[in-house]
Structure 1
Amino acid sequence: MSTKEKITFVEFEKPSLKAGKYTFTTKQEVKIDNTVLVAPESEGKNTIHFGVKGDLFRLNPLFVHSTFPPENGDGVYEDVLPHIILNKATLPWEYSADTISTKRDESDLPWLGLVVFNENQIAQNPGAEDNDTLIQEKMPTIAEAEEMGVGEDHLMEDEEKKKTCQTITVPRDLIEQFFPRKEELKWLTHVRKVSTVDKEDSINAKGVLEDGEKTATFSAIMANRLPDRNTTSVVYLVSLHGREDDLPKKTGTVSIKSGTTLEEPTHLTFVYLKKWTFYTQPALGRIHDYLATESKLIPATYKLPSENVTDPSLKRYLSDGFIPANHFTLKKDQMISWYRSPLIPFKSETENFDRDKTLYTSPDAATLYDKNVGMFNVTYAAAWKLGQLLTLRNSRISQKIYLSKSKLKENAKRNFDIEELQADSNLRQSPLDFNEQVIHKLNVAIENAAPQSLTSKSNKAFDQIENQFIGAKSNDLVGTNYTVRDNMIDSYHTLMINRTEELGKSIDFSNEEETKGFQEFENKIFRVFTDLRKELNPNVKEKYLKKYKAILKGNKGTDQLVLKDSEDRKEWHNEQDFLIQTTKEGLNGSVLSSKSSDPVITTDVDPDITQWFADLKLLKGVPLSYIIPSMDLVPFESLRFFYLDGDWMNALLDGANSIGDSTKLDSTLAQVQADTVRKSSTKRAFDARNEVPLNGFVKTNTEEPVSGILLHSQVVDDWPGLEIAGYANSSDDKLPLLRMEKLREGVIICLFSGELDSVAIQEPTEGVHYGFRNHVDNVHVIALKDPRGKRPNGQSAKEVNLSVTNSLLFRNWKKDGPRVINFDHLKGIIKTAVIVSYYNRGSGYNYNNAEFAVQMIRRMHRVNIQLKDK
């Protein structure tokens, strides 16, 4: 099936074996010189009895893909035949309506049918006097229903038959008017194969690869009655298994089963497996009506309105997609901070989706403060912490990440060439062993600084740290590879930050003396590490070092990294790049032993870890409240365009990848491996739906921005299997769909690779409707299609209108009577019209129920929406 051939109609899809009892017999013969040896009848034979189970009395809700009109729908349905789409393509042929059991195995007669009644034809009060003329709904046990003549399941256990089922008891005159005839059942049921390229992930995942494209197979059952205007219609999916003699005949009478001596019953009972209602009126009823006429659906970017906001700072935050949110600190203090979801109204400054830069190593480091408005921005801190919590909740993945990092660290230890490091120094032990000793000394020194007497003891504590550390520097670190030294310094520095953070939580910042002493303590820590870097690493560029700091801003114990402007952020990114690069040099360069066979950087990433990161990159598993923090961002009957924030995604992944990190060295080694993890997970994320190159699609480029839409509309619920396609600059430049998933009732998200310019929203292909183009006075009009894929006389984009008079179209036509279609007449009229219109009265038309369904379908509605507010 090519991309353009989005739907294929098939006559039927029978199961390998229909439901029921079977006997399998084998017989062995022995021949000698073409003479069959005669054996006793019992010898050489083997008989096996088995059964194929189905369910005559209940329908798994998961088998129902969609109904049309939608359940509880309200719209213009008077020219549409109600139908149901089933996910299980073989279901209509698992049993048969044939009465004679010997015919059922080979029969292509389905056992399911749709019957449409008006609401006033259904009994509302079980004890009412007029119930004899109405349809009565009941819930008997399966055993009781079998006694009513609805059919029998010989494979069902007696205990299971104690469960209830749903039945309708119908007067015979209503059966005659509304039930399909036996000959019509075949023409009312068929199979549809559709492309899943533009469908939700859940449908696309179930697709089967066919001719280079994923397709899904559904069965479709249409009703035989057009709904009445200004009326609530009730549709029943009824079981007709073995009930052919109870169905109307062409003469309009209902027959009695042969062999019966009972008086003709006035009512018959049928099991129904599904029921739904809808209302028909001259109002909205098409996807185009829902979308195009809603004023709120004017496309907009994903942000709160800010037109009436006068404060320039607040206006800027709202325009950038932020919302004010409640923020609770670790000490249970409450404040209002800015938060923005990963969906932003402008193109992210992050270079691309596959960025290998690490932005943050903790939620505190990711918290920003804007002194102009006096508020924190917790966007990236929330993303970082969320990534960590989601990964910790998945014990299998968190364990694999931890073990992967442990293996990396062990490889690093084995690959350090100690002899080479000792060549220009007096070092007599492993740098890692030395590292552990100094960290222990620093811990002891910090713990000796009592918080309650900070002012007097902070200098003493710092003197202890400085003397031990600088002493170790002068004796042990001079001359060693600068990358190793720098990593060790990073570890000490990180430790100092963490220990100082703990110290800061106990400080009384209302005490001016304690606050001043604490700030002096922080400044000294910063200076000693900065000076140490300059002294030991003279070749390191100053610009990579001058902003290496974690200045702790005391705010009731909450420590924040303050990046005041874009230059601060840029230099912070530069430093992260520097750390990763120098670690790579240290692990893969001169400090590696030439004798080692174990690689330090593992290139084989566990596929489960890759998949976990890939899912996170597509926001899978991210709680809805993080994606849509306020429904005001996407009100009902609206569509919002957005870009994916690369920094938010990186913070999320940094948090997820933080499992097992305890020192700066751990984090740096993990960042080295993260290059491979991120690239593999990005590829997996982009290829998740596109297992094969898509015909006519540009190749997915991971350096393209990720953009998308949020649609909050009734159509999301009313049209399961909705199809949404994204385009760049033209209708021919189709963007690969990365994710399409329903987030909650009425809300669906789509992510595309590339910069979105417009979207096309279309009714589900598998749910394409049956019916008539229109009706005028005494005729109904059908739009005929060329079965050969061409238009009459070579014309393009034209169909032949076939007008059918009501007297030929409907059973027992009356002006104000029910419009039940005489399918025996209609199929013959369509066949003749198609041959005359497309085959010049010649032969060669293979007319069957699939071809009939093609002629009965109505044109699908498609809405193209241009992005206007970029």
Structure 2
Amino acid sequence: MTTHPTEQSAPADDTPVAFYDHLLPGIEAGRYRITVEQQLPAEQLPGARLDPVEQIVDVRAAQFRLDPAWVHAVYPAAHSQGPFNGLLPHITLNPTALPWERESFTAGVQNPGRAPWLALLLFGEGELPGDPNALGTTASVTIRALLDGDAAVSGPVLDRDAVDPTLLDTPCQVVDVPGELLAQLLPQPSDLAFLAHVRTGGKDAAPVEGQDSRPGQDAHAVITTARFPGAGRGRYVAHLVSLEGHTPPGPQADGKPVRLVSLHSWTFTSCPQSGDGFGRLAGRFVPGNGEHSAAPLRPAPAADSGLPDELGTLLEQGMVPMTHITESGERALAWYSGPFLPRVAPELPRPADGHFPDADGLLLHEPHTGTFATGYACAWNVGRALALADPGFSTTLVRLRHQGRLRRATDRQYATYRRQLFLSAPSTGPAPRMAARMAPRAAALTPREQFEELLRGDALDALAPTLGIPEDDEPRPRTVRAAPAAYRLDAPKRSSAPPQASPDAREAAAWLAKLRTLSGVPFDCLVPDQRMLPPESLRLFHVDRGWLDALLDGARSLDRHPGADATTDAELDELLNGQGTVPAAGLLLRSALVPGWPTLRVEARTASGTTPVEVIRREALGADVLLMLFEKMPDRLTISEPHQGLHFGVDDQGNVALRSLAPGEVGRPLGRSVPVGADPALTVTTPAGARVLDIGRLAARLAEDVKPGSPLSPAEFAVQLVRAPEQLTLTFEGTTR
């Protein structure tokens, strides 16, 4: 196994990321007065002039609280630590138009340049009086108290009538920021627009080529702060605050702190020597990094364990020794293997009817140790337990089996009637010879079947529709006792077209197909020993098809009779074959990358690197474990930061790498840079030691190099500050396929 880490690179023209200045709503939130006047041309006529009609309309949007589900991601990740001193923290929001749904600085100040009403402020330890340790502590006040104001602070000035009355007594979170500190951290109103933009990601995204285009799918609003974390170790708290109803920050004569509504907040620690950055976290998976290296999933024994060779071989094959309690209550040693193995599992022999009726038949004897291997039996029991725990599936499966048995009984009864009607045919034509040959069978008929032979003529014609016997095309005289078509030798045959699956069968097959991807299976059954997946590790595995089959057999065992349900089982088997690909391999990632980058990109490809491997399932199992199932074992893995996880800032030397803004070349490196960190005119150090970008001057300085004679738009400004995502590529040579 070798690794090929890639260097940071700028987004090329084919990178599926696009930037937009903003996404303006059709109408901003607020209170509107609609006046309707009507006047006829002939004013002298009676009733020609009507009184105007007025209507008050409230357009409401998020104002005092933010749905946590609207926060797509934050960077740096909450409670993370890493070398963030050269990065600008930002927040990504799902509602694309949210930052522009209201007016900023609505206390008598017009919104300049479509500035957002939201701002992201970064505070260090000892800066907020109410949160000296930067733990994200906020004060809770009711919206009514916020609107009434507090003599000790300078709060927002908002129209109470425009607020939903049902929200007045609900709480909101606020932070009191010293006025002088706020004036140092918050850019000028004309510069706020540069700190918010819309970003899209996906195959349908297009580069920025004008303001008439609209964001495509997978669009998010991004709000960035203007402050860098400090170069030394320190904890910081980021607050997404509302600027609505405030005046622009400046010298406060009264010295009152400013009360801001905090819509979302998170904390992180900036530490230049930390190993929790993306590059350092992903770099742990390279070879030679001990238990952190990407390796097969198995409980490998310690080098000095002194185990016999046969036991070491079992551990290398993914077997785990565990306590086994027999049906009689005795405790014994057994070996367990889950569906994830470091090897390709041999094919599991199947019973004659193709399905295991119980778990006992899946207890396999391990000859080297004289114990049992219980993995398949456990899979059967887990499948049955999951089926019983889902009343919808269990009811559907039982109903499907009953319907199948009813059809089988009906077909058998129909065949009996056809046979009896054939034996009771008239004595002319070829039928007598056939009846003579079947006479021994007729002698063995039951009394009820002998009674049915007495049905002749009119009685038979009356029963024909009930028995499903097609009538002759032409009516025949009742005096002529011709053989009905039902028991002629050339009777019409049933249609050869396959019957359409019932809704119950499709529903049951869909549930089983989802179970086949191990959905709902307890994690202990997948990874029986936590030492198989230590913290900060990546493990590859093959999926045992026999384990999946045993799991499904257990789920399908409810109310199953092998003989009576053969047709239903065959129907389910056929439907399952058309329910997508069966997983054959996968990976488990246990790392801080999972919570820190929720949309982490993991691409699996073949040896050529051009053909992607199909991902059958991807799901986060718990806080820091990611499971991915593939159609086959990949030869190459690429782990990279998501496109929506692009972050902003300067390089290690404090420079902004300039990028092209030409159509078709947006994001291409120009090979030039602007020193930002070392220029006191662009990076201002406040009296408290905070490093804050002068957004207006920086935008003008960048425009001189990349767009002479024209100012930068918010989207173009964001492109210049982008730091491309890091990625790590792992290749696996000689992997058993």
Cross-structure match for 2:220: 218
Cross-structure match for 2:573: 675
Candidates 705, 716, 719, aligned match of 1:851: 716
Candidates 708, 712, 717, aligned match of 2:590: 712
- Answering whether residue 687 of structure 2 is matched by residue 807 of structure 1, we say no
Instruction: Give yes or no for contact 1:398–1:659 (8 Å, CA) kept in 2.
Output: yes
Q: Which amino acid aligns with 2:201?
A: V
Cross-structure match for 2:146: 145
> Number of residue pairs matched?
635
Q: 1:660 to 1:765 in 2, by over 3 A?
A: same
Instruction: Give yes or no for contact 1:9–1:190 (8 Å, CA) kept in 2.
Output: yes
Q: 1:177 to 1:2 in 2, by over 3 A?
A: closer
SS in structure 1 at match of 2:114? coil
SS in structure 2 at match of 1:732? coil
Q: How far did 1:158 drift?
A: 5.2
Q: How does 1:41-190 map to 2 (within 5 A)?
A: 41-42=50-51, 48-99=55-106, 108-123=114-129, 137-146=138-147, 147-148=149-150, 149-152=155-158, 154=161, 156=163, 160-190=167-197
Candidates 784, 787, 810, aligned match of 2:661: 787
Question: d(CA) in 2 for partners of 1:357 and 1:30?
Answer: 87
Q: 1:48 to 1:595 in 2, by over 3 A?
A: farther
Question: d(CA) in 2 for partners of 1:629 and 1:291?
Answer: 25
Question: d(CA) in 2 for partners of 1:214 and 1:357?
Answer: 52
Instruction: Give yes or no for contact 2:284–2:536 (8 Å, CA) kept in 1.
Output: no
Cross-structure match for 2:555: 656
Q: 1:356 to 1:806 in 2, by over 3 A?
A: farther
Cross-structure match for 1:228: 230
Q: 1:415 to 1:123 in 2, by over 3 A?
A: same
Q: Which amino acid aligns with 2:296?
A: T
Q: 1:368 to 1:85 in 2, by over 3 A?
A: same
Instruction: Give yes or no for contact 1:303–1:320 (8 Å, CA) kept in 2.
Output: yes
Q: Deviations over 1:524-555 (max 9, x none)?
A: xxxxxxxxxxxxxxxxxxxxxxxxxxxxxxxx
Candidates 502, 511, 532, aligned match of 1:633: 532
Q: Deviations over 1:680-727 (max 9, x none)?
A: 32x2xx5xxxxxxxxxxxxxxx6xx62111011111112221111111
- Answering whether residue 262 of structure 2 is matched by residue 384 of structure 1, we say no
Cross-structure match for 1:313: 310
Question: d(CA) in 1 for partners of 2:642 and 2:57?
Answer: 40
Question: d(CA) in 1 for partners of 2:137 and 2:574?
Answer: 66
Question: d(CA) in 2 for partners of 1:68 and 1:336?
Answer: 48
Question: d(CA) in 1 for partners of 2:617 and 2:45?
Answer: 66
Question: d(CA) in 2 for partners of 1:15 and 1:314?
Answer: 67
Superposition TM-score, scaled by structure 1 size: 0.66
Instruction: Give yes or no for contact 1:707–1:754 (8 Å, CA) kept in 2.
Output: yes
Q: How far did 1:161 drift?
A: 2.8
Cross-structure match for 2:389: 393
Q: How does 1:603-618 map to 2 (within 5 A)?
A: 603-604=501-502, 606=504, 607-618=506-517
Identical residues among aligned pairs (%):
24
Question: d(CA) in 2 for partners of 1:725 and 1:671?
Answer: 37
Q: How far did 1:758 drift?
A: 2.0
Q: 1:22 to 1:2 in 2, by over 3 A?
A: farther
SS in structure 2 at match of 1:788? coil
Cross-structure match for 1:241: 244
Candidates 428, 436, 445, aligned match of 2:445: 428
Instruction: Give yes or no for contact 1:96–1:107 (8 Å, CA) kept in 2.
Output: no
Question: d(CA) in 2 for partners of 1:36 and 1:318?
Answer: 101
Q: 1:388 to 1:429 in 2, by over 3 A?
A: farther
Q: How far did 1:848 drift?
A: 1.3
Cross-structure match for 2:272: 282
Instruction: Give yes or no for contact 1:603–1:676 (8 Å, CA) kept in 2.
Output: no
Q: 1:403 to 1:162 in 2, by over 3 A?
A: same
Question: d(CA) in 2 for partners of 1:136 and 1:329?
Answer: 54
Question: d(CA) in 1 for partners of 2:548 and 2:600?
Answer: 28
Q: Which sections of structure 1, spanning at least 5 residues, go unmatched?
A: 129-134, 198-209, 248-252, 257-262, 432-592, 687-701, 836-840
Question: d(CA) in 2 for partners of 1:648 and 1:429?
Answer: 48
Q: Which amino acid aligns with 1:299?
A: A
Q: Deviations over 1:537-575 (max 9, x none)?
A: xxxxxxxxxxxxxxxxxxxxxxxxxxxxxxxxxxxxxxx
Question: d(CA) in 2 for partners of 1:736 and 1:664?
Answer: 35
Question: d(CA) in 2 for partners of 1:679 and 1:25?
Answer: 64
Q: 1:192 to 1:656 in 2, by over 3 A?
A: same
Cross-structure match for 2:698: 826
Q: 1:38 to 1:169 in 2, by over 3 A?
A: same
Question: d(CA) in 1 for partners of 2:409 and 2:680?
Answer: 90
Instruction: Give yes or no for contact 2:292–2:534 (8 Å, CA) kept in 1.
Output: no
Instruction: Give yes or no for contact 1:86–1:219 (8 Å, CA) kept in 2.
Output: yes
Candidates 232, 243, 256, aligned match of 1:266: 256
Question: d(CA) in 2 for partners of 1:102 and 1:49?
Answer: 23
Q: How far did 1:65 drift?
A: 2.0
Q: Which amino acid aligns with 1:324?
A: P
Q: How far did 1:750 drift?
A: 1.1
Q: 1:375 to 1:97 in 2, by over 3 A?
A: same
Cross-structure match for 2:325: 328
Q: How far did 1:228 drift?
A: 0.7
SS in structure 1 at match of 2:360? coil
Q: How far did 1:140 drift?
A: 2.5
Instruction: Give yes or no for contact 2:509–2:572 (8 Å, CA) kept in 1.
Output: no
More helix per residue: 1 or 2?
A: 1
Instruction: Give yes or no for contact 2:117–2:243 (8 Å, CA) kept in 1.
Output: yes
Q: Which sections of structure 2, spanning at least 5 residues, go unmatched?
A: 1-10, 205-212, 421-437, 449-490
Instruction: Give yes or no for contact 1:341–1:379 (8 Å, CA) kept in 2.
Output: yes
Q: Which amino acid aligns with 1:109?
A: A
Candidates 594, 605, 619, aligned match of 1:741: 619
SS in structure 2 at match of 1:863? strand
SS in structure 2 at match of 1:165? strand
Deviating more after overlay: 179-188 vs 162-171: 162-171
Cross-structure match for 1:367: 363
Candidates 310, 335, 338, aligned match of 1:338: 335
Instruction: Give yes or no for contact 1:75–1:282 (8 Å, CA) kept in 2.
Output: yes
SS in structure 2 at match of 1:140? strand
SS in structure 2 at match of 1:782? strand
Superposition TM-score, scaled by structure 2 size: 0.77
What RMSD, in angstroms, separates the aligned Cα atoms of the two structures?
A: 3.9
Instruction: Give yes or no for contact 2:199–2:222 (8 Å, CA) kept in 1.
Output: yes
Q: Deviations over 1:257-278 (max 9, x none)?
A: xxxxxx6443221111222222
Cross-structure match for 2:542: 643
Question: d(CA) in 2 for partners of 1:123 and 1:82?
Answer: 22
* RCO higher in structure (CA 8 A, sep ≥6): 2
Deviating more after overlay: 744-753 vs 416-425: 416-425
Q: How far did 1:600 drift?
A: 8.3
Cross-structure match for 1:409: 405
Q: Deviations over 1:653-706 (max 9, x none)?
A: 122222331x2213422321122221232x2xx5xxxxxxxxxxxxxxx6xx62
Cross-structure match for 1:14: 24
Q: 1:818 to 1:366 in 2, by over 3 A?
A: same
Q: How far did 1:232 drift?
A: 1.9
Question: d(CA) in 2 for partners of 1:79 and 1:796?
Answer: 21
Cross-structure match for 2:599: 721
Q: Deviations over 1:421-470 (max 9, x none)?
A: 78584663699xxxxxxxxxxxxxxxxxxxxxxxxxxxxxxxxxxxxxxx
Question: d(CA) in 1 for partners of 2:131 and 2:69?
Answer: 31
Q: 1:864 to 1:664 in 2, by over 3 A?
A: same
Instruction: Give yes or no for contact 1:300–1:867 (8 Å, CA) kept in 2.
Output: no
Q: Deviations over 1:121-145 (max 9, x none)?
A: 133689x9xxxxxx99533222222
Question: d(CA) in 2 for partners of 1:156 and 1:327?
Answer: 64
Q: How far did 1:761 drift?
A: 0.7
Q: How far did 1:639 drift?
A: 0.6
